[in-house]
Structure formats: C-alpha cells, structure tokens
Amino acid sequence: AMNRVQLLGRVGQDPIMRQVDGKNPVTIFSLATNEMWRTGESEVTQGGESDIQLCLFSCTIGDISQKTTWHRISVFRPGLRDVTYQYVKKGSRIYVEGKIDYGEYTDKNNVRRQATTIIA
C-alpha cells in the first residue's frame, strides 16, 4: 500500500498555527499548483512552466490553457511545523511531500463535511 503525494507550487497565504482541543498544534497553509497544456492537445504537463516558456521562443504552439488547483497542507511534525510557520510566506515557491488524508468534520450547522488535506 502506498499513499504519497509530491507537490511543487506557490503558497497562497502566510501559514497559521492552530491548536484544537488539547491536541498538538498544526501549521496549515494553502498551496497552488498549475497545470498547463496547449489547446487542442490532451496531454497535460504538470508544472511544466519552463517547458512552455522555452517553447514560446523556439516553436509555434496554439493557445496555452492553465488550471490552478488549491491544496490544503497540514504540518504536524514538531520541528517541521515550527520551521514552516516561521519561514514559509505567501508567494513562496515550495516542494511538499506527504500523504493525502480524507478527514471529516462537523461544521457550525452540524453538517458532516469532507476535508481533504495533505499531511506534509
């Protein structure tokens, strides 16, 4: 069994540190990844920004489409959690490795909701 995620993207806002009912604190931030592809091609290059920039100068391509995906990143490991909170800032370009977690929580209207997070 394997649950492993690798992301390279930009941080959406300065991380926050949260403490929930006596549990260990967690640092949380959002990360944006971009997928780019050329119109009329089904192939999607993950984070292939540099490939496309190079291509702009050396070959003729159609319009470039881009899709941004936002990921919620949670950092529980004590050392990493504190370093992340201190040094990661909005706009930073970072690499995150972790596992995907499909948690559930109850919102303020008592509705059970799915919360997908990457445990870094």
Give the C-alpha separation, 40 to 78, whole Å: 47
Residue 55, in any domain of the structure: no
Q: In this predicted model, what pLDDT tens digit does every residue of 30-61 receive, in sequence order? A: 999 998 877 765 554 554 555 555 555 445 45
Neighbours of 61 (CB within 10 A): 13
Element (H, E) at 114: strand 112-119
**Residue 48 has what DSSP assignment?**
-
Across residues 2-18, what is the average pLDDT?
Answer: 96
Residue-level pLDDT at 58 = 46
Residue 51, in any domain of the structure: no
Residue 44, in any domain of the structure: no
Give the start-end residues of each E strand in 24-63: 26-38, 45-46
Give the C-alpha separation, 82 to 17, whole Å: 9
Q: Name the average pLDDT for the chain.
A: 85
Number of domains making up the chain: 1
Residue 109, in any domain of the structure: yes
Residue-level pLDDT at 37 = 77
CATH at 110: 2.40.50.140
Domain span at residue 76 reads: 5-35+63-119
